[in-house]
Structure 1
Amino acid sequence: MAELSREQLTKRPFSDKKHYPYGFGRSGDFSISESKLLQSHGSLFAALVDGKLTPQTDEEQQYLESALGHRPPQTPQEKAWLKYQARINRPKAASIYGSKRSMTEEVDEDEDIGDNSDIDIELDTE
């Protein structure tokens, strides 16, 4: 896959099909303004955090520091990005029904499952 230029990488709308397949605005997790901020600035944040881009301006350096947790978020873009990160990295809820049975239970190989000798069936033959 060809490398994208800085301009192409930062200008394309950000989306996360894995966690938000119907978009940020339809998820209920974000306000309309937060979803617009994520779509417009999310690609830049993702590229900075992933190391695909190096910060070239003071604003980008502040974005990176905020995204990495080195300073508290100050702009609405930074707050939306940190809210997005908190949502996708939250722990998964446990089931109220418990866990699946362990498949490591050993089956006694001496038992013949097909042997029905202990079952008595009486049939009326009249």
Structure 2
Amino acid sequence: MNEVDMAVISKQQVASKLFVDKKNYPYGFARSGDFSISESKLLQSHGSLFAALVDGEITPENDEEQAYLESALGHREPSTPQEKVWLKYQRRINRPKTASIYGSQKPVIDDTDADNDEDINDNSDLDVDVSD
């Protein structure tokens, strides 16, 4: 086998492999609530090809793959359902993480005024006459 045959085989293997994202979607795309059933199927069937193109594992060999790559990189607007669902997937996994309304860090206590607080709280040198 020469290099061209090996590249074709690996490309065919990548394209035929179902796309899964266990990190962001451990129960699958269809169960996530982010995608419709048809979008989930498109993402599973075409996601491996998009990921391989974007990651540089394979090079685009025709106009359709070149269009996929340009759309995935943001060089043009998505036109096919596959391109649209890939961009939707990218937006979902790259969205900013939500923070708690209670904050994510412990409050910082400023100890610079500690000396002043001691002066105010120290009542030992006050003479108070309580006799009336």
Q: Under TM normalisation by the shorter chain, which class is it?
A: 0.7 to 0.9
Correspondence list, 1:65-84, <5 A:
65-84=70-89
Task: Quote the Cα distance in structure 2 between the aligned partners of 1:99 and 1:83.
Answer: 28
Q: Could you list the runs of 5+ residues in structure 1 that have no partner in the other structure? A: 107-126
Task: Quote the Cα distance in structure 2 between the aligned partners of 1:101 and 1:11.
Answer: 49
Instruction: Determine the structure 2 residue equivalent to 1:19.
Output: 24
Instruction: Determine the structure 1 residue equivalent to 2:63.
Output: 58
Matched position secondary structure for 1:84: helix
Task: Quote the Cα distance in structure 2 between the aligned partners of 1:67 and 1:10.
Answer: 16
Task: Give runs of ≥4 in structure 1 deviating > 3 Å.
Answer: none
Which of 33, 37, 51 aligns to 1:32? It is 37
Correspondence list, 1:103-122, <5 A:
none
Displacement after TM superposition at 1:77 (Å): 0.2
Displacement after TM superposition at 1:100 (Å): 2.4
Task: Quote the Cα distance in structure 1 between the aligned partners of 2:65 and 2:101.
Answer: 44
Displacement after TM superposition at 1:19 (Å): 0.2
Q: Could you list the runs of 5+ residues in structure 2 that have no partner in the other structure? A: 1-6, 112-132
Instruction: Determine the structure 2 residue equivalent to 1:87.
Output: 92
State the number of aligned residues.
104
Give me the CA root mean square deviation: 2.1
Task: Quote the Cα distance in structure 1 between the aligned partners of 2:103 and 2:73.
Answer: 36
Partner amino acid for 1:10?
A
Q: Percent identity?
A: 73
- The one-character-per-residue Cα deviations of 1:62-115 (angstroms, maximum 9, x if unpaired) are 000000000000000000000000000000011111122269x99xxxxxxxxx
Structure 1 or 2, whichever has the larger Rg, is 2
